Amino acid sequence: MAAPELSDLDPAERDIVTVVRDWVDQEVRPVARDLEHAGAYPADLIAAMKGLGVYGLVIPHDYGGSGVSTACFALVTEELARGWMSLAGAMGGHSVIARLIERFGTQEQRDSWLPRLATGEVRATMALTEPGGGSDLQAIRTRAARDGAGYRLDGTKTWITNARTAGVTAVLCKTGQDTVPPSRGISILLAEPGPGFTVSRDLPKLGYKGVESCELSFDGYHCPAGALLGGTEGEGFRQMMDGLELGRVQVAARAVGVARAALEDSLRYAQQREAFGQPIWRHQAVGHRLADMATQVAAARLLTTRAAAALDAGRRSDLEAGMAKLFASEACLAVTADAVKVHGGYGYSAEFDIERYYRDAPLMVVGEGTNDIQRNVIIRQLIDRYPA
């Protein structure tokens, strides 16, 4: 299948996407299957991503990053996910936190964190979800109480990507217990590893192997006052909702990448595999399935780049980002299932990549806010934008 359209990017950004695409073809795809089946942490690939500048894509030039458009960021994410979705996950939350610090951090926080985040010297992750809490972020129980010159942090977070390798974790927590609405009592603390901050266990997963997903425990962890994002309590919910717009574009782009990989593998296989004396794509059942798969991938990419454009224009884009994440993730689920059908028994074999795509696809449906949450966001925004 032809590579995604790059004509809307400036020449420098086209080069970035092309370099990452070539690296994925040459260095990632040949090893991803073995690394994934072994559950091995991809240290060499992560180091190469740092060298390629992937961790600094959304960070401005003034702090050592590339400062690319969100469209370029999405296309790089797509290429990484096409090779191995876990690699796209390894830079997703990091990029969201970099954006939060750049947009809402104090000058001291920007100067301290952004240059190191841009090179990947320090990697970032976000700690939102709690056991039993799911997507209801206003109901979080992790508490930050004033303690001398800082905060005492207590609580538990779960499903935290990069938890063991992150040098800074943006922790969504309650600094006000009885505020109305509850969102006004939520803040973000930039927590570094230290006493009272424990990565308690790694969570077993269907897919998304190699990169860790962990449970975190905070028990009397002390955070200095300067770790409060932006320096003002009660702003964390609004800040994180802004960051999640980029996060949802990134998850949508991951879904496009996985779906595209499944489609490309299926197109190759359908031309090589023969049945009843002809390539199987000539059988209408297979040919029509491939046509539908290609259409879904193309539509998902268009919605994703549309959401990226809205973000770059400075507009509120939770409607566009929610639509992109919803459609792209559902399309990925359908396309990977169809890829199994095209491959027949080989689609079920661990010797082919199709089964990996099929196991990775559900993450995008439930990650960064479940798709039912996206539907809630979409309908509220539709009513706001188109009142009777």
> What is the predicted pLDDT for the residue at 5?
65
Widest CA span in the chain:
79
Where is the domain boundary, 90, 108, 123? 123
How many domains, the chain? 3
Residue for token digits 């990053």? 65
Tell me, yes or no, whether 223 and 101 share the same domain: no
Q: Is the dihedral of CA 325, 86, 92, 172 positive or negative?
A: positive
State the Cα–Cα distance between residues 192 and 113, nearest whole angstrom: 11
Tell me, yes or no, whether 211 and 266 share the same domain: no
Tell me the two tokens of residue 178. Answer: 């009885």
- In terms of residue numbers, what domain contains 92? 11-123
CATH number for 206: 2.40.110.10
330 a catalytic residue: no
Where is the domain boundary, 209, 234, 259? 234
Is 211 a domain residue?
yes
What end-to-end distance do the CA atoms of the chain give, in Å?
A: 44
Which residues 6+ apart lie within 8 Å of 91 measured at CB? 49, 54, 55, 57, 77, 80
Tell me, yes or no, whether 159 and 246 share the same domain: no
Is 375 a domain residue?
yes
Tell me, yes or no, whether 353 and 250 share the same domain: yes
> What is the predicted pLDDT for the residue at 6?
73
> What is the predicted pLDDT for the residue at 1?
54
Tell me, yes or no, whether 49 and 162 share the same domain: no
Tell me, yes or no, whether 113 and 166 share the same domain: no
Tell me, yes or no, whether 223 and 318 share the same domain: no
Gyration radius of the chain's alpha carbons: 21
**How much is the pTM?**
0.95
- The DSSP 8-state label assigned to residue 183 in this structure reads G
Tell me, yes or no, whether 270 and 379 share the same domain: yes
CATH number for 350: 1.20.140.10
Tell me, yes or no, whether 312 and 272 share the same domain: yes
β-pairing verdict for 213-224 and 150-161: antiparallel
Q: What is the pLDDT along the chain (388 residues), one digit of tens a residue?
A: 545 567 789 999 999 999 999 999 999 999 999 999 998 999 999 999 999 999 999 999 999 999 999 999 999 999 999 999 999 999 999 999 999 999 999 999 999 999 999 999 999 999 999 998 777 788 899 999 999 889 999 999 999 999 999 999 999 999 988 888 888 999 999 999 999 999 999 999 999 999 999 999 999 999 999 999 999 999 999 999 999 999 999 999 999 999 999 999 999 999 999 999 999 999 999 999 999 999 999 999 999 999 999 999 988 889 999 999 999 999 999 999 999 999 999 999 999 999 999 999 999 999 888 999 999 999 999 999 999 8
Other beta carbons less than 10 A from residue 43's beta carbon: 10
Tell me, yes or no, whether 242 and 376 share the same domain: yes
Tell me, yes or no, whether 283 and 373 share the same domain: yes
Catalytic residue among 36, 78, 102, 368: 368
Tell me, yes or no, whether 181 and 306 share the same domain: no
Q: Is the dihedral of CA 86, 362, 140, 322 positive or negative?
A: positive
State the Cα–Cα distance between residues 190 and 97, nearest whole angstrom: 9
